[in-house]
Structure 1
Amino acid sequence: MKLLLGVVFLGWLMIWGMLPTHTFGERWLPMLLSKTKTTYFGRLGTNVLIFTFPILFIAVVGCVYLHIVRKSDRNKSSSGALKAWRRPLLIKQPLGIVSGTELAFCLMFLAFIVWFFSCYLSNALANFKGEGGEKESNGLWLAKLEIAALRLGLLGSLCFAFLFFPVTRASSLLPLVGLTSECSIKYHVWLGHIVMLVFTAHGVCYIIVWAATNQLSEMLSWARVGVSNVAGEIALLSGLLMWATTFSRIRRRMFELFFYSHQLYILFLIFYLLHVGISFFCLVLPGVYLFMVDRFLRFLQSRNKVRLVSARILPSETVELNFSKDPSLHYNPLSILFINVPSISSLQWHPFTVSSNSNLESDRLSIVIKKEGSWTEKLCHKVSSSSLDRLEVSVEGPYGPNAMAFLRYDSIVMVSGGSGITPFMSIIRELIFRSTTDSPTPSVLLICAFKTSADLTMLDLLLPVSSTVSDFSRLRLRIEAFVTRESVPPNEPSKLIRTAWFISDPSDLPLAPVLGRDSWLWLGAIISSSFVAFLVLVGIVTRYYLYPIENGTNGFFSSWKSLLNLLFICICIVVTSTAAVLWNKKRSTMKAKIQNTEALTDRELESVPHQFIVGATTVHFGERPDFKKMLLESEGSNIGVMASGPSSLRHAVANICSSGPGKRLHFESISFSW
């Protein structure tokens, strides 16, 4: 199945590669139009067939493949050659940590877009013939600039076709190549910079041409048929506003400005569609279509208020939130949950790593939040308030890797800084579960750096208090904890973890998979059925309504045609997705019951899990970890190194793993940034 999908994808890329050539324009396109251009679809049918259908086919068949893999519970190991390619090759800003595989694909993509533009431009200029004369000579450069401007727009559309793939969270495309949406964010950022750079050059070139030829009135042109200049300018302006807030200094210091301005992508998409028309929009439709399906499913899931059972409040200004969960919801370690707290902000969603394990805790899901910004500060203050008896929370997810790649290693070294320890909690709990089933598990060395001794209480969250497991002897865990800002242990004993219990509302529901147990199959059904319904609607309306008008005197206003097609897409996605979600909700007979468990007492902190953590931990005060010594002295021939925390920490660890002595070390960075 993967071989078939790979062939289809290469065929789709080949169509893009042939697009600027004479062969495509003079031979292939006339033949395709003669066979696909009908009274039901017109030129739209041709572009749907060669640009949209292949990617949607890959997405649907990929859903079937992932369903089979999930049922078979496969965790395939990569070959040694592939592991070598995954080693960090570049560790510099602004790209950050880049592996050999990523660098190779980036260079190939850059070479492809350079060839695409140069081929398009050279072929267009070769057909351009001036008639001589001084006036013609003066205007020749403007004519060539206009040709280049048009080709820049086509180049921007090529890059735009890939832009939404990395941010479609519930897509089958990313898991097929071993990626997750959070680790692919950087690809979206890179593509976004290229798209806006090319589209800006496209717009500036046209403005120069219009200004030089006294045709600035073209900026206010909205043609009845064809390209709309005004729509393109609005799309470019909204894109520039988004682009201006994406640079790291602005994004980190003024996150809310970045977040709210990024919602202009809706305006950008609509006016881009009105600018180019629905037929040309089909070139970029696959990524947009899959994103729209994913976005609406996330919207449906977020309408439910999730049942928040309890919160554990640590003295280090860290909070663990525990949600009620449907046992049918299964997720892998390193999964991400997006949460929204309407009482803090009705629009802001923030991602957090899931710290619980679905095998050990079938009815609970936990996330750990450390106070590090204004939003998290307000949340921690609310949860810590003694007067709060209920907190309304909406969630999206969890989203995570399709397989547990860390199981392929003989030993694992986890390096964390501060709250970066939270992704490793779910891995340790998974290894606890596997140790009880006599499955071979790798040994674990956890190197964690904290600022103060109060942060050491985060180690108490490594093991679940509610777990029935009492024997941890099979778990080979060693913890090296470093307190960097305190040279001696505190004289006073550390404060105990406090637990707050919340009262549920009848409208609160346990966290459940939005598409049920067979979510991949349902996602494939939604994509295929909604797109078939869209084609049927378009065919009927085009044949019996638009076709007679377009063959009339004035024709049909192309912008209205584009909006009509967009409306059909939205209707089909909304209807099929809503039907699938409601059907799965109806099938689910699970009724969660909240257990009135008493609050944790001081005695529970002296439980077997706590004693095990204390026995496995060595605390170093006033020191910083010597990563090079600890990593290179690690035992084993196949060692997985995972780093989570500040970028400086991850870059330092990546440097060691990419060095000559670090050939045994296979690095993985866990972060939304790079």
Structure 2
Amino acid sequence: MIITNPVVDLLRSRFGSLHTYILVGGNILVYTAPILLIATLGCIYLHLENKPSYHPSNQRSNIHLMGLLERPVIVRGPLGIVTWKELLFLSMFIGLLVWSTSAYIHAMFATITTQSASKMKVKVWEVKLDSMALMLGLVGNICLAFLFFPVTRGSPLLRLIGLTSESSIKYHIWVGHVTMVLFTAHGLCYTLFWAKTHQISQMLKWEKIGISNVAGEVGLLTGLGIWLTSVPYIRRNVFELFYYTHHLYILFVVFFILHVGFSYCWITLPGFFLFLINRMLRFLQSHQKVRLVSARVLPCRALELNFSKTPGVNYNPTSSIFVNVPKISKLQWHPFTITSSSNLEPEKLSVVIKCEGNWSQKLYEELSLPSTNHLQVSVEGPYGPATTHFHKYETLVMFSGGSGITPFISIIRELVHMANDPNSTNKTPQVILVPAFKTSLDLGILDLLLPVTGTSHDISRLRLKIQAYVTQESGPPKPATENQQAYRTVWFKPSTLDAPISAILGRNSWLSLGMIIVWFSVTSLTVVAVVTQFYIYPNDRNTNMIYSYTVRSVLNMLIICMSIAITVIIAFLWNKKRNSAEMRQIRVTDGPTPLTSPGMSSWYYSADRELESLPYKSFAGCITVHCGERPDFKKILMEIGGSNIGVLASGPKKMRQDVAAICSSGISKNFRFESISFSW
């Protein structure tokens, strides 16, 4: 069954393929241009927001409103922790799919009658099956249009609604599942229809004009491969298989375009365009070798990497970077939370890595070798929230489990700077950190709360209390052995090939990104229009036949990809030239390699007593250690007074769900809950 449109048929009969170009222009105007325009305006807004003179109005009312929207409404279930804001967007998305499905079914089934089916020599249910298959594909296109937005790192669209690519990975997973369910049902329905109507040969046809079935089948098989290898068991246990098969998205998108034709896929392309721009920028940044200054190797099988960076690289707490160590694996990139503060440490960037896999285990062993004096590293990022509101709370309570403490280290360092900043008009909140560790040896991570070089700031100005819990040891912790008494600091020798981490698009990165989007849009659409007007359309008109959809799609894809590559490379080289002067100002020094931290003594704790041995004495009176028990989240929260309490949870899923359940139970309206999760 072929669905026809009388208007399109009339244009086809009178103007040849002119109707195709009118359709392309309409699709670009309706589906593509608005998204790219919003992204450009978002870049301008974010650029102005980063200016010191920018002062958003009514911030306290905004934070109160956002606190209500961020309150959890669903705590446990297949979707994880869902806030009111997420539920609102999810309801709108489901409403869009339901409305689209009902509209397509109503329009298609209205023309199906017994008489029309008998003329085509098929049964009514078979005609409806064909229409259902088409409807599933059309609704799947809508889902595909949203698929790439959540995984575009540094996307202005995500920043405008307060999201980051790390926190929105779960939306990509949700949309991906729905997309593949619809496309799989779309393919099965057509296969069943062809089998019942004795047209199974349709599966082997690659039409010159119209839908290409073979391309659709290849795209569906590619998507199924990506989908099946992304199940949680494979993703967590065979991460390399998941990572490599996910790069088949290129084939999936290419064969999708070849399947439907370039004229009909503009609804799905805006998100993919923004993703390609970001992917090209990441590719260019990942080929730069960065300067690794030092590393702190802890006895608890954790380590801290300290990179050199230019002062122009600014980021907010809870940001992250992707790290690649070619000596361990040239292809593996792993995300880690940044533990430093760009205000407290303007020329350093730090991450903490806990040994929980083969890659991190090999890195720990490499840095533990006495002969290691240089390590080649590449990074992508940093990526993180555009703004933070931690300082807007009266009290900030942070619950962590294991390595989940890492995002809170960056928050504490930022608040230390804010408490000592004479120009700051914000009152620093009281901070209560409640970390939970398995063994007393893991308490060594608390030694990373301040930079390796220390700080000249007055730590006592930060009202900080640390209630640490050791869950798998009862009674007084075991004294540390001789090999566990102190961490080891490794200072690396500089290399002329290494450079400080710099902003990929310079200080005005948002403005540069907006210019890239505008320039790419103008150049690519102009070239496509010129090629269509002076090459494709004359061939159609002279031969009185429509130009091959496959050739046209391939030609347009090449034009767009080349436009993106050329635009991004020009912007990258221009900003690299501007950054070179700033890089020359960073002095590379070869520091000593002390075997232990200065003043570090044995890590020994007594249950329910203050920590007595800490290299930075300012924190000594802030820490209380509890052994053989788990934190009572409800008791801790109910003992805190105040009308505006921020509650952050980072760590295992169950811990975050327990804290979210308390904050959403209604026992207090003063809690503003936020879950920080970097696990997919």
So what's the TM-score if we normalise by structure 1?
0.92
- Give the equivalent residue in structure 1 for 2:606: none
Structure 2 contact 159–385 (Cα < 8 Å) conserved = yes
1:485 aligns with 2:472: yes
1:575 aligns with 2:555: no
Aligned pair partner of 1:188 in 172, 178, 185: 172
Deviation at 1:660, TM superposition (A): 1.6
1:43 aligns with 2:20: no
Deviations 1:533-573 (A, max 9, x none): 00111111111111111221443221111011111111111
Structure 1 contact 222–231 (Cα < 8 Å) conserved = yes
Aligned pair partner of 1:661 in 661, 667, 672: 667
Cα distance in structure 2, aligned partners of 1:138 and 1:568: 43
Cα distance in structure 2, aligned partners of 1:102 and 1:445: 27
Give the counterpart letter for 2:593 in structure 1: A
Structure 1 contact 340–346 (Cα < 8 Å) conserved = yes
- Give the equivalent residue in structure 2 for 1:537: 527
Pairs within 5 Å for 1:257-406: 257-406=241-390
Cα distance in structure 1, aligned partners of 2:227 and 2:210: 27
Deviation at 1:42, TM superposition (A): 4.2
Pairs within 5 Å for 1:514-663: 514-551=504-541, 552-588=543-579, 589-590=581-582, 591=584, 592-600=586-594, 601-605=596-600, 610-663=616-669
Cα distance in structure 2, aligned partners of 1:577 and 1:138: 53
Deviations 1:43-86 (A, max 9, x none): 32111111000000000010000000011465734253442232
Change (3 A) 1:126 1:555: closer
Deviation at 1:28, TM superposition (A): 13
Show structure 2 runs of 5+ residues with no match: 602-612
How many pairs were matched up? Answer: 647
Secondary structure class of the residue paired with 2:294: strand
Structure 2 contact 291–501 (Cα < 8 Å) conserved = yes
| Segment drifting more, 462-471 vs 383-392 | 462-471
Change (3 A) 1:29 1:225: closer
Deviations 1:233-256 (A, max 9, x none): 010001001111222122112211
Structure 1 contact 40–538 (Cα < 8 Å) conserved = no
Deviation at 1:377, TM superposition (A): 1.0
Change (3 A) 1:132 1:444: closer
Give the counterpart letter for 1:647 in structure 2: K
Cα distance in structure 2, aligned partners of 1:582 and 1:547: 37
Give the counterpart letter for 2:587 in structure 1: K
Change (3 A) 1:39 1:102: closer
Deviation at 1:358, TM superposition (A): 0.7
Deviation at 1:115, TM superposition (A): 1.4
Cα distance in structure 1, aligned partners of 2:272 and 2:108: 29
Cα distance in structure 2, aligned partners of 1:297 and 1:243: 26
RMSD value over aligned CA atoms?
A: 2.3
Give the counterpart letter for 1:534 in structure 2: S
Structure 1 contact 654–667 (Cα < 8 Å) conserved = yes
| Segment drifting more, 504-513 vs 443-452 | 504-513
Cα distance in structure 2, aligned partners of 1:81 and 1:515: 33
Structure 2 contact 112–124 (Cα < 8 Å) conserved = no
Give the counterpart letter for 2:38 in structure 1: I
Deviation at 1:467, TM superposition (A): 4.2
Deviations 1:248-295 (A, max 9, x none): 122112211111111111110000010011111111110000000000
Aligned pair partner of 1:212 in 167, 180, 196: 196
Aligned residues: percent identity? 50
Aligned pair partner of 1:511 in 486, 495, 501: 501
Secondary structure class of the residue paired with 2:465: strand
- Give the equivalent residue in structure 2 for 1:128: 112
Aligned pair partner of 1:462 in 449, 458, 474: 449
Change (3 A) 1:135 1:48: closer
Give the counterpart letter for 2:477 in structure 1: P
Structure 2 contact 117–127 (Cα < 8 Å) conserved = no
Structure 1 contact 39–547 (Cα < 8 Å) conserved = no
1:116 aligns with 2:103: no
Deviations 1:441-462 (A, max 9, x none): 1110000000111111100101
Change (3 A) 1:303 1:597: same
Secondary structure class of the residue paired with 1:661: coil
Deviation at 1:94, TM superposition (A): 1.1
Secondary structure class of the residue paired with 1:311: strand
Deviation at 1:148, TM superposition (A): 1.0
Deviations 1:304-347 (A, max 9, x none): 01111111000000010011101111111110101111222222
Change (3 A) 1:105 1:39: closer
Deviation at 1:380, TM superposition (A): 1.3
Structure 2 contact 210–549 (Cα < 8 Å) conserved = yes
Cα distance in structure 2, aligned partners of 1:138 and 1:288: 39
Change (3 A) 1:30 1:496: farther
Structure 1 contact 546–556 (Cα < 8 Å) conserved = yes
So what's the TM-score if we normalise by structure 2?
0.91
Give the counterpart letter for 1:542 in structure 2: T
Structure 2 contact 420–457 (Cα < 8 Å) conserved = no
Cα distance in structure 2, aligned partners of 1:343 and 1:469: 36
- Give the equivalent residue in structure 2 for 1:101: 85
Secondary structure class of the residue paired with 2:187: helix
Cα distance in structure 2, aligned partners of 1:29 and 1:133: 21
- Give the equivalent residue in structure 2 for 1:52: 32
Show structure 1 runs of 5+ residues with no match: 1-21
| Segment drifting more, 139-148 vs 467-476 | 467-476
1:451 aligns with 2:438: yes
Deviation at 1:470, TM superposition (A): 4.1
Deviation at 1:29, TM superposition (A): 13
- Give the equivalent residue in structure 2 for 1:500: 490
Pairs within 5 Å for 1:235-274: 235-274=219-258
Change (3 A) 1:628 1:546: same
1:63 aligns with 2:46: no
Secondary structure class of the residue paired with 2:150: helix
Change (3 A) 1:302 1:179: same
Secondary structure class of the residue paired with 1:446: strand
Deviations 1:394-426 (A, max 9, x none): 111000100012122111000000111000011
Cα distance in structure 1, aligned partners of 2:615 and 2:209: 71
Structure 1 contact 332–402 (Cα < 8 Å) conserved = yes
Give the counterpart letter for 1:143 in structure 2: V
Secondary structure class of the residue paired with 1:169: coil
Deviation at 1:587, TM superposition (A): 1.4
Deviations 1:16-41 (A, max 9, x none): xxxxxx9xx8999999xx9xx97995
Cα distance in structure 1, aligned partners of 2:390 and 2:332: 32
Structure 1 contact 39–542 (Cα < 8 Å) conserved = no
Secondary structure class of the residue paired with 1:192: helix
| Segment drifting more, 569-578 vs 502-511 | 502-511
